Amino acid sequence: MIFFNIIFLSVLIDQLVKFFIVKYIKPFYTFPIIPNIFHLTYVENRGAAFSILQEKQLFLIVVTLIFTIFLIYYLINIPTTNHSLWFKISLSLIVGGAIGNLIDRIRLGYVIDFFDVRIINFAIFNTADVFVVIGTILLVLILFFGNVENYL
């Protein structure tokens, strides 16, 4: 199933990028790609998005596990049609991102974040977050506008 390949690749990319961030960026804390605009900055996030729910790792692990199991069950049991293909791709990206951050929470007790967009003073985030956001944007487009294939 293509959906499990998307999930696997999302998790693999996320974990590989985080491995290299720990190896090459953590010792320096931050590395400017475009000074004062975009940096790679090593941060240990012990909360959720925007650092909310700090030190609530068990709660975040349980919620993520329930959410992920539900979505995987849905991906397995709902038949794939032309209309549901992009819907399931969006869910696969969300699941892949969720699992990527879940691995960090279970293994490390925190999530490794590193994309630091300083020009707009945005929260530091990671590749798993990017997959979740792309999947969510795709899901919203599908829900509001219908089949994405009409627009590609």
Residue 35 in domain: yes
In a domain, 151, yes or no: no
Report if residue 106 sits inside a domain: yes
Query: 39 lies in a domain?
Result: yes
Residues 37-46 pLDDT 10s: 999 999 999 8
Mean pLDDT of the chain: 89
Give me the number of domains the chain comprises: 1
> 61 vs 58, 67, 82, 127, CA distance in Å?
5, 10, 33, 18
Domain that holds residue 95: 2-146
- Which of 14, 104, 113, 116 is catalytic? The answer is 113
Please give the pLDDT value at position 117.
Answer: 96
Q: What pTM was estimated for this model as a whole?
A: 0.89
Q: Is 104 assigned a catalytic role?
A: no
Residue 63 lies in a domain: yes
Encode pLDDT of 105-133 as tens digits.
Answer: 999 999 999 999 999 988 999 999 999 99
| Domain assignment present for 14 | yes
Residue 152 lies in a domain: no
Catalytic site residue 14?
Answer: no
